[in-house]
Chains A and B, each alone.
Chain A
Amino acid sequence: MTDDIAVINTAFGQVAASNTGAIGTGARRQGILRERIKPVSVSTKGVPRWLRRASGPVLVVLAWHLASVTGLLPKEVLAGPATVFSSAANLIATGELQQAMWVSLMRALVGLAIGGSVGVTLALCAGLFRLGEDLIDATVQMLRTVPNVALIPLLIIWFGIGEAPKIALIALGTAFPLYLNVYAGIRNVDSTLIEAGRTLGLSRAALIWHVILPGALPNALVGLRYSLGIAWLALVFGEQINATAGIGYLMANAREFFQTDVIVVCLVVYALLGLAVDFTVRTLEKVLLSWRPAFSGT
């Protein structure tokens, strides 16, 4: 009977001094305070998740629309969504927008191709060879601290105001992230795999091809994504330099005439192009990195 009291007491977290002796004697505990774990219902009732997620942006656009319709947001400050849509349709109908997009996309891709090749080549030299590391790495690390937008005056002096300085700016911006990530990727390849490769009798060239480069690929793709982000940013800056075509030109024109609707259309286009390119890289990652244990997509 005293045992029972002791057990019940401890179950409630109160150890009576007179009963402490009974706890350690191996008496089987009875009447333990329990709680029932409530299962989480598998199908959450109510609004589906995607709808809830979409409601935020929809509300923002709605608020924007209401503000411009009621005159709270003057057209000179920011055109309403309806005006933006109609002027986008207009620009597409005249072919102006497609033309501008094409020019801008080409600038970004050509710049990326040049900057990317330089960055990757330097990273391979520095990553694979000790001599390359000594000659290249310190130099690149020094140069990369210069904000490349600050180079615009110099680029204008060197290349004039045509296409060349715009592409040079993009190339400069994209070379560094690719360099850094490819170099880090090469240097971080699992050394136990390199050892395994050596015990399999791989030559140095085979080791680079079968072990080091595939091992550096995940990092290289991260670098590519960074580079693309910067390419876009550099494009926006570069197109401020006396552009005669492209989205930047469209924007500069619109600024002259206070056409905030066209400016918004251009901003949206920049965002969509960025999204499209990011999607491309994601797809590339899915295809090229399906071997990765961390990979969680399909």
Chain B
Amino acid sequence: MATGVQRNLITPEQTGEHQVQQRQLRGAQAVRVRGLTRRFGEREVLKDLDLDIAPGEFVALLGASGCGKSTLLRILANLDREISGTVDVAARRAVAFQAPRLMPWKKVWHNVVLGLPGRQDRTKAIAALEEVGIGHRADVWPKVLSGGEAQRASLARALVREPDLLLLDEPFAALDALTRIKAQSLVAELWQRHRCAVLLVTHDVEEAVLLADRVLVMKDGVLAHEETIAMSRPRNVASAQFGRIRANLLGWLGVHQPH
């Protein structure tokens, strides 16, 4: 591990300590990144990056593929430690990936509570599954879930951990258009209820503007642009203000639309 990196890792033997760290982080930032650099060989994928996410804030990270946005998310999820810089993240965090990544050999409800301390709490799993609308699918194998259902199960698995920070890595990218709209409004609703900080990595500008308090545009390993979305919720995709913000963000991403 590179020097000068501070992290709050969740490991079972640190449970007591993690409670303390968590209390320290309350009121501070859910994410605090300073001078983060990640190299793949000669190539700098992330260059001296700074990022703050407030508790309960919904941040969307936009960028073309290969710009380093998923790398940043992996670093925040503690899946990539070959970094230099300072990275502090909420100890209680959860991740939902583009693929649901459910363990195919565990029934859905076992998947939801996998890794939680103590015995496998079925009622807790059912409650979490009901919250995402698939309580009736608790006892099936993941293979029989539809794409949307599997993604919901993956969300339930993340939320059952009551995270202070939820990392979403293009969770809707593989869903069909209709399912995606439903999943997006579900995430908005869950976020209103749980009020955890969210970092949503996406390449869908509309999705970012629809859901986030703040949209960051990543380009060549730096955060090139930041846009605070002041619109009230629920947001109307068809409104003029929405269109302006979207056009502006697309411009930052190098897509210029005719007016």
> Which A residues lie at the B interface, using CB under 8 A?
192-193, 195-203, 206, 210-211, 214-215, 217, 290-293
Please tell me which one of the listed residues B12, B103, B157 contacts residue A210 in the complex, with CB atoms under 8 A apart: B103
Interchain residue pairs with CB less than 8 A apart (23):
A192-B99, A193-B101, A195-B79, A195-B101, A196-B95, A196-B103, A197-B103, A199-B78, A199-B94, A199-B95, A201-B10, A201-B11, A201-B12, A201-B161, A203-B11, A210-B103, A214-B103, A217-B105, A290-B141, A291-B143, A292-B104, A293-B104, A293-B143
Q: Provide the residues of chain A in CB contact with B101, threshold 8 Å.
A: 192-193, 195-196
Consensus secondary structure, chain A interface: helix
Q: State the CA gap A195–B100 with chains docked (Å).
A: 12
Tell me if B77 is interfacial: C-beta within 8 Å of chain A: yes
Q: State the CA gap A200–B157 with chains docked (Å).
A: 9
Q: Provide the residues of chain A in CB contact with B115, threshold 8 Å.
A: 197, 200-202, 206, 210
Cβ–Cβ contact B79 & A199, under 8 A: yes
Identify which of A196, A198, A290 gathers the most chain B CB atoms within 10 Å of its CB.
A196
Tell me if B106 is interfacial: C-beta within 8 Å of chain A: yes
Cβ–Cβ contact A211 & B103, under 8 A: yes
Q: State the CA gap A192–B104 with chains docked (Å).
A: 12
Q: Provide the residues of chain B in CB contact with A211, threshold 8 Å.
A: 103
Q: Provide the residues of chain B in CB contact with A201, threshold 8 Å.
A: 10-12, 115, 161
Tell me if B114 is interfacial: C-beta within 8 Å of chain A: yes
Known: A197-B115, A201-B10. 14 other contacts (CB 8 A): A192-B97, A192-B99, A196-B101, A197-B103, A198-B78, A199-B78, A200-B114, A200-B157, A200-B161, A201-B11, A202-B114, A210-B106, A290-B141, A291-B105
Q: Provide the residues of chain B in CB contact with A217, threshold 8 Å.
A: 105
Cβ–Cβ contact A196 & B97, under 8 A: yes
Q: Provide the residues of chain A in CB contact with B157, threshold 8 Å.
A: 200
Closest to A294 in B: B143
Cβ–Cβ contact B79 & A198, under 8 A: yes
Q: State the CA gap A195–B167 with chains docked (Å).
A: 14
Closest to B114 in A: A200
Closest to B104 in A: A291
Closest to B98 in A: A192
Closest to B15 in A: A201
Q: Provide the residues of chain A in CB contact with B114, threshold 8 Å.
A: 197, 200, 202, 210
Q: How far is the CB of A59 from chain B (nearest CB, A)?
A: 42
Consensus secondary structure, chain B interface: loop
Within 115-141 of B, Cβ neighbours of A (below 8 Å) are at 115, 141
> Which B residues lie at the A interface, using CB under 8 A?
10-12, 77-79, 94-95, 97, 99, 101, 103-106, 114-115, 141-143, 157, 161
Q: How far is the CB of A186 from chain B (nearest CB, A)?
A: 14
Cβ–Cβ contact B77 & A199, under 8 A: yes
Q: Provide the residues of chain A in CB contact with B161, threshold 8 Å.
A: 200-201
Q: State the CA gap A292–B106 with chains docked (Å).
A: 10
Q: How far is the CB of B105 from chain A (nearest CB, A)?
A: 4
Q: How far is the CB of B16 from chain A (nearest CB, A)?
A: 15
- Give 3 closest A-B pairs by Cβ, nearest first: A200-B115, A196-B101, A214-B105
Q: State the CA gap A198–B97 with chains docked (Å).
A: 13
Please tell me which one of the listed residues A193, A203, A290, A292 contacts residue B103 in the complex, with CB atoms under 8 A apart: A193
Q: How far is the CB of B101 from chain A (nearest CB, A)?
A: 4
Closest to A195 in B: B79
Identify which of B12, B101, B157 gathers the most chain A CB atoms within 10 Å of its CB.
B101
Q: How far is the CB of A255 from chain B (nearest CB, A)?
A: 49
Q: Provide the residues of chain A in CB contact with B95, threshold 8 Å.
A: 196, 199
Cβ–Cβ contact B79 & A292, under 8 A: no
Q: State the CA gap A197–B103 with chains docked (Å).
A: 9
Q: Provide the residues of chain B in CB contact with A292, threshold 8 Å.
A: 104, 143
Q: How far is the CB of B25 from chain A (nearest CB, A)?
A: 17
Q: How far is the CB of B196 from chain A (nearest CB, A)?
A: 15
Cβ–Cβ contact B143 & A203, under 8 A: no
Identify which of B12, B97, B115 gathers the most chain A CB atoms within 10 Å of its CB.
B115
Q: How far is the CB of B61 from chain A (nearest CB, A)?
A: 18
Q: How far is the CB of B44 from chain A (nearest CB, A)?
A: 23
Q: Provide the residues of chain A in CB contact with B94, threshold 8 Å.
A: 199-200
Q: How far is the CB of B46 from chain A (nearest CB, A)?
A: 19
Q: Provide the residues of chain A in CB contact with B142, threshold 8 Å.
A: 291
Q: State the CA gap A217–B10 with chains docked (Å).
A: 29
Q: State the CA gap A210–B25 with chains docked (Å).
A: 31
Q: Provide the residues of chain A in CB contact with B99, threshold 8 Å.
A: 192
Q: State the CA gap A291–B141 with chains docked (Å).
A: 6
Identify which of A192, A195, A292 gathers the most chain B CB atoms within 10 Å of its CB.
A195
Q: State the CA gap A194–B99 with chains docked (Å).
A: 13
Q: Provide the residues of chain B in CB contact with A203, threshold 8 Å.
A: 11-12
Q: Provide the residues of chain A in CB contact with B103, threshold 8 Å.
A: 193, 196-197, 210-211, 214
Q: State the CA gap A121–B94 with chains docked (Å).
A: 35
